Amino acid sequence: MTVRRVVPLILGWEDLPKSVSVEGADPAERLVEPIPGVLLLCDGGWLLLDTGFNPALIRDPQLRRRFHGDPLFQPILPGPGDPLEEALEASGIDVDDVTAVGLSHLHHDHAGGLRHFAGRVPVHAQRAEVDYGLGPHPDPEAHGIYRVDFDDPAIDWRLAEGDREIAPGVTAVLTAGHTPGHQSFVVDLDPAVGGGGLVLAFDAADLTENIDHELAVGGRVHATPEQTVEAIRRLKSIAAAKGYQLVPGHDPVAWPTLIAEMARRFAPPR
Ligand SMILES: [Zn+2]
């Protein structure tokens, strides 16, 4: 059996310049982008892709000054509690039902919920990403990768060096550029639920226009704009070959649309 259900989540929002998502965009133009997470029902339980913000770094004034002090980048939490717990609860899934985590990359809006899983479940990432994140301060932190989110000996890392199937029907695809070990995910849906699938770009392509017009991603770690376009082309060719939809990671329209599509597709029969 491959994947039998897809539940995309919104784990918060981020108010930021569009130029973070699209290289060369007018820096005065701003977007409020959703923070993505995805639950996939696989053999063995729920696989969670990405974990959202660490709310302590946003709510505690001193931590906020250090980690979210730039007024150009403002995180928005969806509710008063823990954003991951709230999103899972709204989906009827308990944090304890998550049996594995796949991480696209270590940016603070994706790795901030890892603390829920340390010492509990395997966490799939690329070795290049974790090596960079645990590398010399302050370069990772200057690039939005906060060691406090993942420097925990209790995390059961499963580190890949390139593409790898991390669960039946879920393949991590190396799309470095946005960060040194960014990975995207190809999801094969089981024939029992109608087949087909999705290619989840995450931050290899924030917006639909990154994909449609092959526009370089603005946020990059030691990579050229062209490298991020290469990653987008790679995802487009995988999606075309499989006949799957390619979904951008932070698009204010495409992400809520995916949530609605998946809710319709996997609605309980009445
Ligand atoms: Zn990112």
In CATH, what number is assigned to the domain containing residue 171? Answer: 3.60.15.10
Q: What is the mean pLDDT of residues 57-66?
A: 98
Q: How far is the CA of 258 from the centre of ligand 1 (A)?
A: 19
Q: How far is the CA of 203 from the centre of ligand 1 (A)?
A: 5
Q: What is the mean pLDDT of residues 169-173?
A: 98
DSSP annotation of 221: S
Please give the backbone phi and psi of residue 265, each rounded to the nearest 5 degrees, phi first.
Answer: -65, -40
- Whether 270 maps to a domain, the answer reads no
**Structural domain total, the chain:** 1
Q: How far is the CA of 4 from the centre of ligand 1 (A)?
A: 27
Q: What is the mean pLDDT of residues 37-65?
A: 97
- Whether 221 maps to a domain, the answer reads yes
Q: How far is the CA of 105 from the centre of ligand 1 (A)?
A: 7
- Whether 36 maps to a domain, the answer reads yes
Q: Which domain holds residue 72?
A: 5-265
Q: How far is the CA of 3 from the centre of ligand 1 (A)?
A: 25
Instruction: Give the pLDDT score at 267.
Output: 86
- Whether 41 maps to a domain, the answer reads yes
Mean residue pLDDT of the chain comes to 97
Is a pLDDT exceeding 70 seen at residue 210? Answer: yes
Greatest distance between any 2 Cα atoms in the chain: 55
pTM for the whole thing? 0.98
Binned at pLDDT 50, 70 and 90, residue 269 comes out as low
**What CA–CA distance (Å, rounded) separates 268 from 270?**
6
- Whether 146 maps to a domain, the answer reads yes
Tell me the pLDDT tens digit for each residue of 13-41: 999 999 999 999 998 999 999 999 999 99
Binned at pLDDT 50, 70 and 90, residue 191 comes out as very high
Q: How far is the CA of 151 from the centre of ligand 1 (A)?
A: 18
Is a pLDDT exceeding 90 seen at residue 108? Answer: yes
Residues with CB under 5 A from ligand 1 (ion): 107, 203
DSSP state string for 109-157 = HHHTTGGGTTTTSEEEEEHHHHHHHTSSTTHHHHTTB-GGGT--TT-EE
Is a pLDDT exceeding 80 seen at residue 270? Answer: no
Instruction: Give the pLDDT score at 268.
Output: 74
